[in-house]
Amino acid sequence: MRRIWLIVAIFGWLAAGTATVALAGFDELTREQAEAERRQLLGGRHEQVPAMAAFRKSAEDVAYPSGELRLPGYLYRPEGQGPFPAMIWNHGSEKDPKAQPELARFYTQQGYLFFVPIRRGHAGAPGEYIVDLQEAARKQGPDLKATQKKTVELHELANRDVVAAVAWLMEQPQVDRERIVMSGVSYGGIQTLLTAEKGLGLRAFIPFAPAAMSFANTALRERLVLAARNAQAPVFLLQAQNDYSIGPSELLAPILKERGRPNGSKVYSAFGVTPQQGHGTFACWSLGILEWGENVAKFLDEALGKKPER
């Protein structure tokens, strides 16, 4: 019965035109992948069209040092001669993060090099997986405040890998180190805000749905407020209305507005019908990119002061 309801709801969402946007400015492959994803929303299974799967193969497998660990990552290069501006993408809490060719296609078409660093414990990388560590902390006792504080500490630990990834990328000769930006979703959105507080020479930060699935954690909320207030570069926060919680936008939007342009936030119309579709799917699928891509491109142009050469 639930599956029938989902199918009816998704058809209603598509028929209402929520997923229909002007496609100018998006390349043919992104449009082709998005059209396939409209149909895939019904089954919930994401597959790449052949051309997108071929583009995925253009990613270079790289490795970066983080303390004593050597962690993997994926690197996509745009066409042309560098050095290139660069986008760092922070994955979420998923055990096995993907190479995100849909996002890479969008950003490389804008002239950016696209880097996906994998944090410790994910995708077979050395180190302990953050979700396992959080579960172990919950089992240690009923002290909610202590458990919430431990979660914040674990995010701070994971941020060491993000900082290390930034340092590695800045040493790459094909990268314009004066024009590096960062984005990420869910746990990756948290990582993006924590890094914004440090600055590290990055020019802009785009968190999607930071802590939307863990918004009940008051310690984490307080930490994100502090990070947003102390951000060293412009921040643009994005969510879809049907995310697990739009509390992050409600909490942080006034802070970003007070900081002035180009800082800002936007809650988009519901994307699909389930919370997960409004969460990671919205941030990572080509169909989601058609919703937010123009706004992100404009934000980056304003934050960087100049559109990158294509």
> Domain for residue 270, yes or no?
yes
What is the average pLDDT value for the chain, to the nearest integer?
Answer: 92
> Domain for residue 25, yes or no?
no
> Domain for residue 255, yes or no?
yes
> Domain for residue 253, yes or no?
yes
Ranges 69-78, 143-152, 244-253: which has the least confidence? 143-152
Is the per-residue pLDDT at 232 higher than 50?
yes
> Domain for residue 11, yes or no?
no
> Domain for residue 142, yes or no?
yes
Burial 93-114 (b: 16+ CB within 10 A, else e): beeebbbbbbbbbbbbbbbbbb
> Domain for residue 174, yes or no?
yes
DSSP three-state, residue 265: strand
**What is the pLDDT confidence band of residue 305, given thresholds at 50, 70 and 90?**
confident
Q: For the chain, what percentages of helix, strand and coil (3-state, to nearest 5) are there?
A: 45, 15, 35
pLDDT digits (tens, 9 = 90+) for 107-163: 999 999 999 999 999 999 999 999 999 999 988 878 889 999 999 999 999 999 999
Residue 124 belongs to a domain with what CATH number? 3.40.50.1820
Domain containing 297 equals 55-304
The number of folded domains in the chain is 1
> Domain for residue 9, yes or no?
no
pLDDT digits (tens, 9 = 90+) for 38-72: 999 887 689 999 999 999 999 999 999 999 999 99
